[in-house]
Structure 1
């Protein structure tokens, strides 16, 4: 168990909750995979050109029905439906029924489905399912992560060849981050200069699963969306990745964190210090250009 993140004492059977969550995610994945190559009904969600499709809504409806039926006393926060169910039961499900909607809308099948169960404000169970590859990963706080074949999922002991000096990183940002954001732009630029490759997949859960598997070496997030953060962060942490806030302080992906406090660095343990120094250098340069208040 990670001593810095003591596990809450849930009053639910996490084995049963995990089974329900995995089956719901996989059923939604079957639905998505069967329909994603056909015509989609697409509409804009906001002025930033974020979209929602009929697939988002169909997958969400399926997942909400299953979670609501199995856990009627639990609150559910889902990307499209918002908050559903009890508000004072102590347990909250976070549901991203289609992470990567904008990708699917342009015919690029990079997407995932994510569910997390939180006891109080802290995630205790996370599930990430990739419908295209039909692979599912899950994690329970303090009990480790599990891969598609049911075996323990752990980061490889060493980075892949050629990556010790040129790590492959992923960048995650929230929908409200503009193209000229005063923090995002220089931070991304410095990560690109000091790394081997910086991926922006527009499907954060896919990036989290890649980190947990060791396919990439780290992730930096700036004002990430809440709905897909706990499931992915728990999966990566239980697989052996380490997480810190952008300023190097402790990081816990609580559902109570406001967007401005959700920024993070997640990486292989031996890379964490380097990434934090890079982020610190970028943030220091940004702060140096801001006139002191009088």
Structure 2
């Protein structure tokens, strides 16, 4: 069933990605949300396309989607987590660093996920066991690597742990710049790059349980064999929260040490 569900996640994410791609370069309307955030026509229409695929195939499943919220009973314990356009601000200014994310949670576990880059048309996917990237119809295993030394850091609010951690302080740490080179992509596409060996790590603050932005990327990193925890080294859905997803254990340990030093000096 996981492989069948993975195929469905891929089809749904690709349907959303096609919509996003069709709106690129156009003057999309913006719809205000809370906290200064906004959605665009592309977000809304991509979500509708994704939900159409999911509801047609799995009418009894629940959906938690970025723009329309929760729908469906979910009495069977299955919930689809949908982020139709991660990187909306990038997209609104005609920057192509975005992703379309679809994941399935059964009980407490995300069992399949797909994240599509609408512009390279790469499909990063997992059936909960393997993690692969599909391009031009061919699948390749995702292989994490810290060789680049590149670490993506999310600078966007909210900052629930700002007393003990702020991303800007991490970037300013002398040993961080000695060991790594920072990048700020401002989309969870960066998590797929950690799984694929294109980034050494990704760091963000935030409460991530059932977070539609992060569910697919976290599942991909875990299936690829990355080291994934919260900011305090505990399971990412517990403790302090936040996320450190690293290609290997030494990189993860180095980042946790740098993060812990912020708390010691707070």
In the superposition, the TM-score normalised over structure 2's length comes to 0.89
User: Offset at 1:181?
Assistant: 4.4
CA distance 1:224–1:168, shift in 2 (3 Å): farther
Q: Which residue of 1 aligns with 2:90?
A: 103
Q: Which residue of 2 aligns with 1:155?
A: 144
User: Offset at 1:21?
Assistant: 1.3
Contact 2:232–2:241 (CA<8 Å) still a contact in 1? no
Distance 2:265 2:87 in 1: 32
Distance 1:34 1:79 in 2: 20
Q: How many residues align?
A: 257
Q: Which residue of 1 aligns with 2:229?
A: 244
User: Offset at 1:196?
Assistant: 3.0
CA RMSD of aligned residues (A): 2.2
Distance 2:73 2:157 in 1: 27
User: Offset at 1:42?
Assistant: 1.1
Q: Which residue of 2 aligns with 1:199?
A: 183
Q: Deviations over 1:110-159 (max 9, x none)?
A: 10000110111221111110001011010122x22011121322224xx4
Q: Which of 37, 49, 63 matches 2:25?
A: 37
Q: Which of 188, 202, 215 matches 1:219?
A: 202
Distance 1:181 1:129 in 2: 31
Residue 50 of structure 2 corresponds to residue 55 of structure 1: no
Q: Between Structure 1 and Structure 2, whose CA radius of gyration is higher? A: 1
Contact 1:172–1:224 (CA<8 Å) still a contact in 2? no
Q: Which residue of 1 aligns with 2:151?
A: 169
Q: Which residue of 2 aligns with 1:235?
A: 220
User: Offset at 1:202?
Assistant: 1.6
User: Offset at 1:240?
Assistant: 1.9
**Structure 1 unaligned blocks of 5 or more:** 1-12, 287-294
SS at match of 1:151: strand
CA distance 1:194–1:284, shift in 2 (3 Å): farther
SS at match of 1:150: strand
Residue 265 of structure 2 corresponds to residue 285 of structure 1: yes
User: Offset at 1:203?
Assistant: 0.7
Distance 2:172 2:86 in 1: 25
**Structure 2 unaligned blocks of 5 or more:** none
Distance 2:131 2:82 in 1: 19
Q: Which residue of 2 aligns with 1:289?
A: none
CA distance 1:227–1:173, shift in 2 (3 Å): farther
User: Offset at 1:189?
Assistant: 3.1
Q: Counterparts of 1:4-15 in structure 2 under 5 Å?
A: 13-15=1-3
Q: Which residue of 2 aligns with 1:21?
A: 9
Residue 126 of structure 2 corresponds to residue 139 of structure 1: yes
Residue 104 of structure 2 corresponds to residue 117 of structure 1: yes
Contact 1:174–1:223 (CA<8 Å) still a contact in 2? no
Distance 2:45 2:38 in 1: 15
Contact 1:222–1:263 (CA<8 Å) still a contact in 2? yes
